[in-house]
């Protein structure tokens, strides 16, 4: 439920801001949201320590959190920057399509669950559907091919790879019993520092921040701070592949939000997004027997052997 709530909240805000922000405003939004997350959740940790004392401490996971800081910065700054050049539905569609394929490749390399041949084929289909979504936008006037579009798509691809790695890291943190509040308090430091440096290099927050500071602050909290905490809590308790499947609902929800806020409708794009969700769901069903089916069959064989020996 946490991942679903995160998806719905992000989709609504992404749909609203699509086409409204330039590159500077997009960076400002991300810095605001990530900075707010660090402040709010460190404050929550401080309150816990005052109330509970040493019992409120979370297990140490310095190495994983350091790695998470790096991957988070690359993933989210790349994604939010891409929104300056490509629509939100396009960005989320490609990002979520890439995720399962990356998990499959990592599984083949020995990181996470090793996929079946069918699962690998399904992941390849998801990538093709992501490319189909890109074509449906560029081919029907939603996006004009340009250098900016190519850069935006490259950033989205990098974000998709990073999202899959973050799912694996989150699962590891969950296995170690690290509190999601503790993770959220410490995973964004590099993100807001790098985002702030890029923002300064671009000349500062820009006119949109000066004209609408409270609006950008509110959007940052709604688009980043709250949904990413919900997502973190969900990722630490869910199988990484199941989590990535749930995240494939984000492009469809974002597209509907874009339609609601900005008008227009592209049946081809929506159909491809629905196909992406269907294939990803099938992929998740294929992956589950690897984790649970083998042990179940082995258990059934042991039970059969026990029954046979008892009967003898």
pLDDT tens digits for 98-148? 888 888 888 888 887 777 777 778 778 877 887 787 677 665 445 666 777
Q: Is residue 97 part of a domain?
A: yes
pLDDT at 138: 61
Sequence-ordered list of residues with C-beta below 8 angstroms from that of 149, at least 6 positions apart, any chain? 85, 86, 138, 143
Q: Is residue 65 part of a domain?
A: yes
Q: Is residue 282 part of a domain?
A: yes
Q: Is residue 64 part of a domain?
A: yes
Q: What is the pTM (predicted TM-score) of this model?
A: 0.76
Q: Is residue 168 part of a domain?
A: yes
The C-alpha atoms of residue 18 and residue 184 are separated, in whole angstroms, by: 26
User: How many domains are contained in the chain?
Assistant: 1
Q: Is residue 308 part of a domain?
A: no
Q: Is residue 307 part of a domain?
A: no
Residue 247's pLDDT band (boundaries 50, 70, 90)? confident
pLDDT at 95: 82
pLDDT at 68: 93
DSSP for 244-276 reads HHHHTHHHHHHHHHHHHHH----HHHHHHHHHH
Residue bearing tokens 């923002």: 199
Q: Is residue 89 part of a domain?
A: yes
| Domain extent at residue 276 | 2-302
């Amino acid at each position: 439920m946490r991942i679903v709530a995160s998806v719905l909240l992000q989709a609504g805000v992404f749909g609203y801001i699509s086409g409204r922000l330039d590159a500077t405003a997009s960076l400002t939004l991300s810095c605001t949201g990530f900075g707010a997350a660090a402040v709010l959740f460190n404050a929550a940790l401080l309150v816990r320590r005052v109330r509970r004392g040493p019992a409120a401490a979370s297990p140490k996971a310095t190495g994983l959190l350091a790695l998470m800081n790096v991957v988070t910065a690359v993933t989210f700054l790349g994604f939010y920057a891409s929104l300056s050049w490509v629509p939100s539905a396009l960005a989320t569609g490609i990002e979520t399509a890439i995720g399962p394929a990356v998990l499959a490749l990592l599984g083949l390399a020995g990181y996470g669950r090793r996929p079946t041949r069918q699962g690998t084929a399904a992941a390849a289909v998801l990538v093709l559907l992501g490319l189909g979504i890109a074509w449906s936008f560029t081919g029907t006037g939603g996006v004009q091919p340009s250098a900016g579009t190519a850069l935006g798509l490259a950033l989205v691809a990098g974000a998709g790879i990073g999202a899959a790695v973050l799912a694996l890291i989150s699962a590891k943190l969950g296995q170690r019993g690290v509190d999601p509040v503790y993770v959220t308090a410490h995973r964004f430091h590099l993100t807001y520092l790098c985002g702030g440096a890029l923002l300064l290099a671009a000349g500062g927050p820009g006119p949109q921040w000066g004209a609408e500071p409270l609006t950008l602050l509110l959007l940052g909290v709604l688009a980043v701070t709250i949904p990413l905490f919900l997502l973190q809590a969900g990722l630490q308790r869910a199988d990484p592949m199941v989590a990535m499947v749930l995240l494939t609902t984000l492009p469809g929800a974002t597209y509907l939000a874009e339609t609601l806020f900005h008008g227009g409708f592209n049946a081809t794009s929506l159909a491809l997004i629905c196909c992406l969700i269907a294939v990803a769901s099938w992929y998740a069903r294929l992956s589950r027997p690897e984790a649970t089916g083998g042990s179940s069959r082995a258990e059934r064989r042991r039970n059969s052997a026990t029954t046979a020996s008892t009967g003898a």
